């Protein structure tokens, strides 16, 4: 790769159930997204009530090169104009990761391009810089279908995890709640819509780990408590009435919101101790789309003189523009993982922090 002041990067993402490709132009510090395609697989997995890794892997293998071609066309560039490739190398489902990395390696060899492997979580964590040019250090809550963690982002490769979930991720809890209440998937938007007409105080659901002074969270007990509450209502009335459904959804959402807001307050205190010039708290991940959760976090920031940054939803959820951006600094420095690049299904962002389920250990949706 010859060094270019302007760098055009091809990004590839296939760590879970979205095949994604993007073209990003980096002109100094100013990134411009030329194309950003996400080909979801929801329909392929719908009948199974969850993501089937083998089906996901096959779909990625069948589609990833077509998705790359479509992203190049949408950006109106050819491979000749690409300066380097950034591909998600982990954490995630091994079959999907392999499909993306093999595609990227093939292109890199055929075209003599530099290639870098990117941590998917770094892609999410650096998105506030891509969308809003946020300066280091900033506080980030990554809250998605497979992850929930508070990170201080110190640099392109320097992440400090303050805490995270010790069991389920909030998106997973939303999806399971939807299932329990007979609502469609993905559960988050369905539960949020249903909760609008509900009474959040009708069911007293637990707010786990608030007695602990750290930033760790737990959501599996909340799910069990919701199941019990639902079963009590069904036993009493012979079924779930519309109002019961709404009250259960609202009570669940309020409990989850309260836990995230309380732990965010603790994370903010730790972050403020660094005396950042302009404090910023950013969110990323699908659950960041939730209105009441967003409102609670935004109100917390307003009370603590901190800017609240929530990137547009299409860049909060899985995409390849964030991968191209997260690999950009390494490509600009002419680094090249080339043929030694392999996949890392488990790849925590902060190696110094103790391992937890939320750091990608299960290889679940990140
Ligand atoms: O970030 P994402 O698209 O995928 C990964 O997990 O990587 O997040 C998907 C998760 C799903 O569990 C979905 O139910 C949840 O985000 N979600 C929401 C909302 N929209 C999506 N959860 C709560 N409220 C929403 N409005
Ligand atoms: Zn993700």
Q: Span 84-101, mean pLDDT? A: 96
- Give the whole-angstrom CA distance, residue 304 versus residue 288: 19
Given this model, what pLDDT does residue 365 score? 53
Q: Is the pLDDT of residue 120 over 60?
A: yes
Ligand closest to 320 (CA) is: 2
Largest CA distance in the chain: 72
Q: Which two tokens stand for residue 318?
A: 């899985």
Give, to the nearest 10 degrees, the angle between helix 94-111 and helix 53-75: 40
Ligand 1 pocket residue status of 18, Cβ below 6 Å:
no
Mean pLDDT, the chain, whole residue set: 92
Instruction: Tell me the per-residue pLDDT of 28-59, one tens digit each, with 9 for 90 and over.
Output: 778 999 999 999 888 888 777 778 888 989 99
Q: Of all protein residues, whose CA lies closest to atom 22 belonging to ligand 1?
A: 188
Cβ neighbours, 10 Å, residue 272: 14
Q: Could you tell me the distance, in angstroms and rounded to a whole number, from the CA of residue 56 to the centre of ligand 2?
A: 15
The H or E element spanning position 88 is strand 84-90
Task: Give which of 1, 2, 5, 3 is closest to 29, Cα–Cα.
Answer: 5
| Residue 17 Cβ < 6 Å to ligand 1 | no
From 38, 146, 286, the mutation candidate for ligand 1 (largest count of ligand atoms within 8 A of CB) is 286
- Grade residue 355 by pLDDT with cuts at 50, 70 and 90: low
Ligand nearest to the CA of 13: 2
pLDDT at residue 356 in the model: 58
Give the CA angle between residues 104, 105, 109 to the nearest 5°.
Answer: 120
What is d(CA 22, CA 10) in angstroms, rounded to the nearest whole number?
Answer: 6
């Amino acid at each position: 790769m010859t060094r270019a002041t302007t760098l055009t990067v091809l990004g590839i993402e296939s760590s879970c159930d979205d095949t994604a490709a993007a073209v990003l132009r980096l002109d100094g510090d100013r990134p411009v997204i030329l194309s950003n395609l996400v080909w979801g697989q929801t329909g392929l997995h719908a009948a199974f009530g969850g993501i089937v890794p083998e089906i996901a892997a096959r779909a990625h293998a069948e589609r990833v090169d077509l998705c790359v071609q479509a992203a190049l066309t949408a950006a109106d560039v050819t491979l000749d104009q690409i300066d380097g490739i950034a591909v998600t190398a982990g954490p995630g489902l091994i079959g999907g990761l392999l499909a993306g990395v093999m595609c990227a390696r093939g292109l890199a060899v055929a075209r003599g391009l530099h290639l870098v492997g990117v941590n998917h979580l770094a892609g999410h964590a650096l998105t506030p810089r891509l969308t809003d040019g946020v300066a280091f250090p900033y506080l980030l809550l990554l809250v998605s279908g497979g992850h929930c963690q508070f990170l201080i982002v110190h640099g392109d490769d320097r992440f400090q995890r303050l805490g995270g979930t010790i069991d389920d991720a909030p998106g997973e809890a939303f999806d399971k709640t939807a299932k329990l209440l007979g609502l469609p998937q993905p559960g988050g938007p369905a539960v949020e819509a249903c909760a609008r007409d509900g009474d959040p105080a009708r069911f007293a659901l637990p707010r786990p780990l608030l007695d602990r002074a750290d930033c760790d969270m737990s959501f599996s007990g909340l799910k069990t408590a919701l199941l019990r509450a639902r079963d009590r209502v069904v036993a009493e009335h012979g079924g779930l009435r519309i109002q019961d459904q709404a009250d259960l959804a609202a009570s669940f959402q309020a409990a989850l919101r309260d836990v995230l807001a309380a732990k965010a307050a603790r994370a903010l205190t730790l972050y403020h101790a660094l005396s950042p010039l302009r404090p910023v708290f950013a969110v990323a991940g699908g659950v960041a789309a939730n209105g009441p959760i967003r409102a609670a976090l935004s109100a917390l920031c307003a009370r603590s003189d901190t800017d609240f940054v929530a990137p547009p939803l299409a860049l909060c959820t899985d995409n390849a523009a964030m991968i191209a951006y997260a690999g950009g600094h390494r490509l600009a420095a002419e680094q090249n993982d080339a043929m030694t690049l392999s996949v890392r299904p488990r790849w925590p962002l902060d190696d110094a922090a103790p391992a937890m389920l939320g750091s990608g250990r299960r290889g679940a949706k990140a």
